């Protein structure tokens, strides 16, 4: 090859290097699902899709007695200043039974003093989506109750009830006494937590309310995800960042990701947002405890100012209990 040819090739390589967009890349995990520039689908997925619903109560099933039951407080949720700490009941007995109506709830402290009580017609109905009053089949031999205040749902054959307890002084409870409908006795649930506050605080406001007993699984089985983001430490304006997002199914239900949800990425949760559809096909269904790692790419705007920003990522999926998102500091220089 002549000198002219070598010079031409050298010019081409220099030109290619000048046009290429330099990358800021996080250390790659051992396995991940590659990024694809899929346009956002803007699909609305019904959380109840495929939900089998509540089991039917067979004729002749007896009503539950307190001695057959045990319970636990579930992880809470909030909306418009209202707080819900649902209670989950399980049949620990040797045969099926059913529940129907409103259970009484009395809150006790460590000394056994009554802090609040929703008994009889007092405190019926909550701010949240209470189910209709109807028989709930309590199947014996269902899986064990979760740890207190960890899960958001139970298994089919168990019973849920919304529960809200507010006290601006936030006294600490130790126990709940659950009184069953129709005089079928009462039993106790360990309940070591403080009362919730309300937008009326600070004041002397106090309130307690509970919804009717409903079948676990009757409502949509929302999914809890944890999210971890692995990103490079710095990037330059006008470059592209490659990072990785790992999601883990922390619920007791399968997370069937089809149809693939959209996600948002950007800076500080609201600036320079870019939206794509997740390349979730290779992930399939995430079983409880399973995880999947996705490669992500983000174009850093040329006009972004220098400094440390939060590279933020959020999954947009109505099937999730509380959304799924994470962020990591990224120094722009």
**According to the model, what pLDDT value does residue 218 have?**
57
| pLDDT average, residue stretch 82-105 | 95
**According to the model, what pLDDT value does residue 96 have?**
97
**DSSP one-letter code for 204:** S
Cα gap 124→117, rounded to integer Å = 11
- Beta strands, E only, 250-284: 255-256, 262-267, 271-277
**According to the model, what pLDDT value does residue 35 have?**
95
Confidence of residue 182 (pLDDT cuts 50, 70, 90): very high
Between 209 and 316, residue with greater pLDDT: 209
Between 77 and 218, residue with greater pLDDT: 77
Cα gap 139→95, rounded to integer Å = 7
**According to the model, what pLDDT value does residue 4 have?**
42
Q: Where are the alpha helices (DSSP H) in the chain?
A: 3-19
Enter the pTM of the model: 0.57
Give me the residue label for tokens 């995990």: 29
Residue pLDDT, tens place only, 243-289: 999 999 988 778 888 889 899 999 987 788 889 999 999 998 999 99
Whether the bond between 202 and the residue before it is cis, its omega within 30 degrees of 0, is yes
Q: Are the C-beta atoms of residues 128 and 152 closer than 8 Å to each other?
A: no
If you count them, how many residues does the chain have? Answer: 333
Cα gap 204→18, rounded to integer Å = 68
Q: Are the C-beta atoms of residues 267 and 61 closer than 8 Å to each other?
A: no
Q: Are the C-beta atoms of residues 131 and 214 closer than 8 Å to each other?
A: yes
**Which domains occur in the chain, in start order?**
22-47+222-332 (2.60.40.10), 66-215 (no CATH)
CB proximity list for 299: less than 8 A, separation 6 or greater = 239, 240, 241, 274
């Amino acid at each position: 090859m002549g000198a002219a040819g070598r010079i031409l090739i050298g010019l081409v390589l220099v030109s290619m290097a000048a046009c290429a967009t330099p990358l800021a890349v996080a250390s790659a995990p051992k396995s991940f699902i590659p990024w694809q520039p899929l346009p956002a689908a803007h699909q609305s997925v019904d959380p109840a899709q495929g939900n089998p619903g509540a089991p039917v109560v067979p004729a002749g099933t007896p009503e539950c007695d307190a001695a057959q039951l045990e319970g636990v407080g579930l992880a809470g949720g909030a909306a418009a200043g209202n707080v819900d700490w649902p209670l989950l009941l399980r049949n620990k007995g040797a045969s099926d039974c059913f529940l129907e109506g409103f259970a009484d709830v009395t809150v006790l402290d460590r000394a056994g003093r009554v802090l609040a009580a929703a008994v009889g017609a007092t405190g019926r109905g909550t701010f949240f989506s209470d189910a209709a009053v109807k028989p709930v089949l309590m199947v014996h031999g269902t899986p064990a109750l979760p740890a207190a205040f960890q899960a958001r749902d139970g298994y089919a054959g168990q019973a849920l009830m919304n529960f809200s307890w507010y006290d601006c002084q936030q006294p600490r409870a130790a126990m709940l006494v659950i009184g069953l409908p129709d005089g079928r006795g009462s039993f106790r649930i360990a309940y070591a937590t403080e009362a919730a506050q309300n937008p009326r605080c600070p004041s002397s406001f106090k309130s307690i309310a509970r919804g009717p007993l409903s079948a676990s699984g009757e409502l949509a089985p929302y999914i809890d995800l944890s999210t971890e983001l692995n990103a490079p430490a710095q990037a330059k304006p006008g470059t592209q960042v490659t990072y990785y997002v790992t999601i883990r199914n922390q619920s007791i239900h399968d997370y069937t990701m089809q149809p693939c949800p959209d996600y948002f990425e950007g800076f500080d949760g609201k600036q320079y947002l870019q939206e794509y559809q997740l390349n979730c096909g290779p992930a399939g269904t995430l079983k409880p405890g399973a995880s999947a790692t996705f490669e992500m790419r983000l174009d850093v705007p040329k006009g972004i100012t220098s400094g440390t920003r939060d590279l933020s990522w959020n999954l947009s999926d109505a099937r999730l209990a509380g959304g799924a998102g994470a962020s990591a500091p990224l120094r722009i220089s």
